[in-house]
Structure 1
Amino acid sequence: MQNPQINPNIAPRQTPDLIRPLGSTEHLFWLIDRNRSIHFTLVAEIDRVLTRSAWNAALLALQQRHPLLCARIVADGVAAPAFQRDPAARIPLRVVENVQQAWQVEAAVELSGPFDWSNAPLLRVTLLQHASGSTIVLAAHHAVLDGMGGAYLLEDLLRALAGGSLAPLPVAPPLESLLRTQMDSAAVSGPPAPAPEAKAFRPAVGARAEVAALALSAQLTQAIAERARIERTTVHGAVAAAVHEAGRRISRTWRERPVRTVSPIDVRATVGGMGRANGVYITQTITVDERPRGAPFWDAARDVKAQLAPAQTLASVAQEIKALDGFITTNPSIEHAAGFLSHVLAFDVLLSNLGREPIASSYDGFTLNALWGPIVSSGFADDQVIGVCTLGGVLRLTQASYNALPGLLDEVQTVLGEAVAV
């Protein structure tokens, strides 16, 4: 299906249920998702079992708080695509009782099942019930939510389950609207340089996602954080360096060329103005590691930090969003958007990090024991998507891929253990 040639400068037709037009980043994710699905999942484990009615009530409270959770995307070929409210839409809840299999199986199922963007809501939840607690698998279309927003959403859901009230939030504007003043004065960057080699996409049908997960020990987690400070880098830089080294140990292809990693950067604190509302408030930056297998680990970790640092400034965010806004105003087709992803970004690794203690662990009546993800795919045939989250002093890793490097997370753990031991 071809993308209609939409003129973003035409105001959307006003309807009572119109929420707002998609922003440029949301628009790009909408297009890319139509090439190959790129929705994501987050997984939360709590130590309590609640009734289905309690979950449904909490999900309804969540929708009443966040306007985009009742939205579909509409595109009529004339105006820019927009979020449109469906007041009758309810977040689907699938409950699996007495679950025997690991949550990774259900997360892979959710990752393999695309969203229909023309139907609301663009969020669904699977609940795995077992004797000692519940596991929540939240799946979201990437045009309506990013990973950190998904974490905040889970926190709101848990607060509602614990009996707390959720005040309705206003519709937050898209990222470029919040940056308009800075974008007006930002330098116009030239066209992005293509990657040395384009990336192939996975088959349009028949491909199955694979999901793996690994929790480091609290002792190793603490050792990584402390050593990263001493080495003047970050935990993110250390994990990236470990993924690169582990991949080179496993894959001959990775040993023969530079490894390209994209790191989504949450810009909520940098830009401000969106609070915890739904939307896509990230930029994405490529780092390139040309080191051979066995290169000095902490040099590699410092280099990742150095490559990411310029992209984390407000001026850089404004410049990047201005360039993306310019691209979207050309009315790109699905094929153009996919070509940008394949020929310009063309990454081997997507390293998405929710950071340290991103949401609360303790609620009235239960505890959040673990938060996993983000679990996502770019659409490439061989990408390795690594989700990182540290909660309760434990760093947790996920790996999502349609062609996974076998044993990658175990090898990452080995590399990190070696790095803090010397």
Structure 2
Amino acid sequence: MKRKLLLPERIMLGDGATPFNGVFVVRLNGTLAAEHLYNALSKIQAKHPLLRAGIVQDKTGTPYFTIPEVYHTIPLTIKDRITADDWQEETKAAWASVFDIPNGPLIRMVWLKGDQQSELLLAFHHCMCDGGGGLMLVREILTVLDDPDYDIGIHPTFTTLEDIVPKHILTGTRQVLKAQLKGAFIQGVLTLLSTFISTRNRPTVRRADDYLIHWKLDQQTSTALFQHCTKHAVTVNTALCVAFLRAFKEVRGEKAMNKITCPVDIRKFIPEIKKDVIFSFGLSLELSVNNAPGIPFWERVQLLQAIASQKISKMDPYDFMLPFEHAHGGIKHMQKFLTYGKPVYDLMFSNMGKLDVQDKYQSFEVDTIFSPTVVGPFANPTTIITSTYKGQIDFSFVSNLAVLAHQDALAIKELAMTLLLEDLPVAAPALALSSII
């Protein structure tokens, strides 16, 4: 069984030797059994073909997800949990770890084992799985961990392009011609741009210089923020975009680009990609805030909300996907541009919203689901991911010392929260802050 990688998957695969990993961390209260955890990993691997696959190239260098006749089980490493912050160092190690790409699997787990509290860390290569897929795997693991006999089902084959794109779009003469022309244009532009990018004395970003800043808003403050956004007819996502862009401008001055890129879950646009199917990429929304002086914060949010809503309403997932499938010839130019080109945005921001994971199970309780993190080899790895669990908004802020000084990142975090919360009818929140340097 094999499937050709789609172009966005190839971009994230890169050279196959450079990590581009996503990490989920879940904190559990209670006593876990190792055999139940092994069983849960075995069941999700049996269900999802991509969790059994490696990536091999054909004679032309085209990569394919391929399941070997005898596949490797999902690795599980068990370590003693010394402190409540051990998960951060394990997360940093997971960012830098390299998967066995040809043989797979492109996923692994670490169990930080404590007496009454543990963390489960699930790491995966981004070319195989996105945040939505990672959350689905977390949900399935917890379900089977609690009930070893639970049947999560089986997906017999890979999800292919033919499975998720309607036939009349995939094969229609007009649609194919349009995709071919756009693909050729994309390839031509990137080929031209790459000629102006020199790789001489331009080392890639060192994973050893990555860092994480993590914090939460308490439940009272989170609720007040939700209510304030509803009052102003805006989303929390848009409010956060404005807060972070304004903070970047204030802290970085002329270095700030006033541009934020937000992944949009492609599952909302393509119903054929089921909620329990692993997929690796989404659509992209680029936004800039109106920085004219004198505009109140929430008015800026409303202005950006109108722009964001209009852009989202015009999104066409097939118009996004199909041209890329006619631009595979430009893959090296794309990777060069993304890895060595001048950054064109301040940060990538993703709000996963309220996480659909139950908290109380028969044998354990989910204490916390930390917002996932992802780090890749691109020129600007700065990423903020938020999620809400048990009524608390959780933040993971990832960057690299070569791109954004740690003290600047802390200043951006503090200013963004001040802008976001200063008009809320609650007392100043206590932020739970932890960081990796």
Shorter-normalised TM range = 0.7 to 0.9
In the alignment, which residue of structure 2 is the partner of 1:261?
260
Counterpart of 1:78 in 2: which secondary structure?
coil
Q: 1:387-420: CA deviations, max 9, x gaps?
A: 1111111110001111243313343332221143
Given candidates 113, 118, 140, the residue that maps to 1:129 is 113
Q: CA deviation at 1:153?
A: 0.4
Q: Is contact 2:99-2:105 (8 Å) kept?
A: no
Q: Is contact 1:162-1:363 (8 Å) kept?
A: yes
Q: 1:204 to 1:391 in 2, by over 3 A?
A: closer
Partner Cα distance (2:347, 2:293) in 1: 16
Mean Cα displacement is larger for which, 305-314 or 39-48? Answer: 305-314
Mean Cα displacement is larger for which, 161-170 or 244-253? Answer: 244-253
Q: 1:325 to 1:290 in 2, by over 3 A?
A: farther
Q: 1:152-191: CA deviations, max 9, x gaps?
A: 0000000010113321123352457512544645555865
Q: 1:383 to 1:300 in 2, by over 3 A?
A: farther
In the alignment, which residue of structure 2 is the partner of 1:71?
53
Q: CA deviation at 1:59?
A: 0.8
- The residue type equivalent to 1:375 in the other structure is T
- The residue type equivalent to 2:409 in the other structure is P
Given candidates 153, 157, 169, the residue that maps to 1:167 is 153
Q: Is contact 1:270-1:314 (8 Å) kept?
A: no
In the alignment, which residue of structure 1 is the partner of 2:164?
178
In the alignment, which residue of structure 1 is the partner of 2:269?
270
Partner Cα distance (1:79, 1:198) in 2: 24
- The residue type equivalent to 1:238 in the other structure is A
Q: 1:327 to 1:358 in 2, by over 3 A?
A: farther
- The residue type equivalent to 1:412 in the other structure is A
Q: Does 1:356 align with 2:354?
A: yes
Q: 1:173 to 1:217 in 2, by over 3 A?
A: same
Q: 1:77-103: CA deviations, max 9, x gaps?
A: 327421111333111111221322512
Counterpart of 1:320 in 2: which secondary structure?
helix
Q: Does 1:286 align with 2:291?
A: no
Mean Cα displacement is larger for which, 18-27 or 292-301? Answer: 292-301
Q: 1:55-86: CA deviations, max 9, x gaps?
A: 11111111111111011011123274211113
Name which one, 1 or 2, has greater alpha-carbon Rg: 2
Pairing 1:244-259 to 2, within 5 Å after superposition: 244-254=245-255, 257-259=256-258
In the alignment, which residue of structure 1 is the partner of 2:431?
none
In the alignment, which residue of structure 2 is the partner of 1:96?
79
- The residue type equivalent to 2:233 in the other structure is R
- The residue type equivalent to 1:376 in the other structure is V
Partner Cα distance (2:4, 2:136) in 1: 23
In the alignment, which residue of structure 2 is the partner of 1:392?
390
Partner Cα distance (1:212, 1:28) in 2: 27
- The residue type equivalent to 1:289 in the other structure is V
Q: 1:261-303: CA deviations, max 9, x gaps?
A: 1111111132011211112241122222352688532233334
Given candidates 313, 336, 346, the residue that maps to 2:344 is 346
Counterpart of 2:19 in 1: which secondary structure?
coil
Given candidates 21, 35, 40, the residue that maps to 2:4 is 21
Gaps of 5+ in 1: 1-17
Partner Cα distance (1:339, 1:44) in 2: 35
Q: 1:228 to 1:105 in 2, by over 3 A?
A: same
Q: 1:145 to 1:56 in 2, by over 3 A?
A: same
Partner Cα distance (2:197, 2:232) in 1: 34
Normalised to the residue count of structure 1, the TM-score between the two structures is 0.84
Q: Is contact 1:39-1:115 (8 Å) kept?
A: no
In the alignment, which residue of structure 1 is the partner of 2:435?
none
In the alignment, which residue of structure 2 is the partner of 1:148?
132
Partner Cα distance (1:356, 1:387) in 2: 13
In the alignment, which residue of structure 2 is the partner of 1:106?
90
Partner Cα distance (2:95, 2:362) in 1: 31
Q: Is contact 1:36-1:204 (8 Å) kept?
A: no
Q: Is contact 1:202-1:382 (8 Å) kept?
A: no
Q: 1:125 to 1:307 in 2, by over 3 A?
A: farther
Mean Cα displacement is larger for which, 132-141 or 337-346? Answer: 337-346
Q: 1:211 to 1:204 in 2, by over 3 A?
A: closer
Counterpart of 1:168 in 2: which secondary structure?
coil
Partner Cα distance (1:293, 1:38) in 2: 39
